[in-house]
């Protein structure tokens, strides 16, 4: 639904080695993410069986038009759950199932992505802040990748306290980005649900199902943010201990 950042540490590299605490953080984060992802896919499959009279693409077009947005296109993109809003190209990109299906699940996802278009139109502060962070996140992820590769080849960069603090700082940027993503996603879902309820497309029971589907989608971002924050705390603890 939004730009995803590569959480480099989660694939197994950690400054100072593989402590039981770090492995526990990784294990719990991975397990939680898998459970939430599984629940999201089950809910999407279940709610895809509940029909509506319009497709996801039609929901998106109606929501944009009724909110006075005429310069954003609704397009189909390959894959499943690859839906996202592109503020640069001004496109609501819906995955092929969402674009073509006429179901509660498709309507919820399409309306959520249009929620981001509304945020962009209204200069929503958290979205603007998040967008400004993208270059810093891309730079941080790139440098973290170089440091990780150097560590895997046995270059002891992380034994250097300065390099360790650089790692903490760069990882802090990606963690902040994941935290800022939360209000952006929750607000887009809120806007989607308000519009769906006011549009009359879904009855009250279907509205609850749309709300549940968006809740589990939001939980994927919550799990990512909490996992990233836990890892940052671990790296910060190592850096502080080595300073003493």
Q: Which two tokens stand for residue 93?
A: 């990109």
Those residues with Cβ within 8 angstroms of residue 144's Cβ, 6 or more apart along the chain or in another chain? 8, 9, 167, 170, 171, 174
**How do strand 73-77 and strand 91-95 relate by DSSP bridges?**
parallel
Residues in the chain: 244
Are 104 and 202 spatial neighbours (Cβ–Cβ below 8 Å)?
Answer: yes
Question: Whole-angstrom Cα distance, residue 13 to residue 240?
Answer: 19
Of 115, 135, 105, 78, nearest to 214 by C-alpha is 105
Phi then psi for residue 90, to 5 deg, are 55, 60
Q: For the packed helices 161-199 and 104-121, what is the interaxial angle rounded to 10 degrees?
A: 110
Of 149, 147, 166, nearest to 157 by C-alpha is 147
Enumerate the active-site residues. 113
Of 226, 123, 228, 234, nearest to 173 by C-alpha is 228
């Amino acid at each position: 639904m939004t730009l995803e950042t590569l959480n480099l540490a989660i694939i197994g590299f950690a400054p100072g080695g593989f402590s039981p605490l770090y492995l526990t953080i990784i294990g719990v984060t991975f397990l939680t993410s898998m459970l939430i992802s599984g629940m999201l896919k089950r809910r999407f499959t279940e709610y895809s069986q509940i029909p509506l009279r319009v497709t996801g693409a039609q929901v998106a077009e109606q929501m944009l038009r009724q909110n006075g947005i005429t310069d954003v296109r609704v397009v189909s993109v390959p894959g499943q759950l690859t839906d996202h809003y592109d503020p640069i190209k001004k496109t609501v990109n819906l995955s092929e199932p969402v674009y073509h299906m006429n179901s509660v699940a498709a309507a919820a996802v399409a309306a959520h992505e249009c929620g981001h278009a509304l945020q962009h139109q209204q200069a929503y502060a958290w979205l603007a802040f998040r967008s400004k962070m993208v270059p810093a996140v891309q730079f941080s992820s790139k440098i973290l990748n170089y440091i990780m590769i150097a560590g895997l080849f046995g270059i002891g960069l992380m034994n250097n306290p300065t390099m360790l603090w650089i790692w903490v700082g760069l990882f802090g940027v990606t963690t902040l980005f994941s935290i800022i993503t939360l209000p952006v996603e929750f607000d887009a879902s809120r806007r989607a649900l308000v519009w769906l309820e006011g549009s009359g497309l879904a009855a009250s029971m279907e509205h609850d199902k749309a709300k549940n589907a968006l809740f589990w989608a939001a939980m994927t971002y919550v799990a990512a943010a909490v996992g990233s924050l836990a890892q940052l705390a671990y790296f910060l603890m190592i850096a502080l201990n080595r300073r003493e």
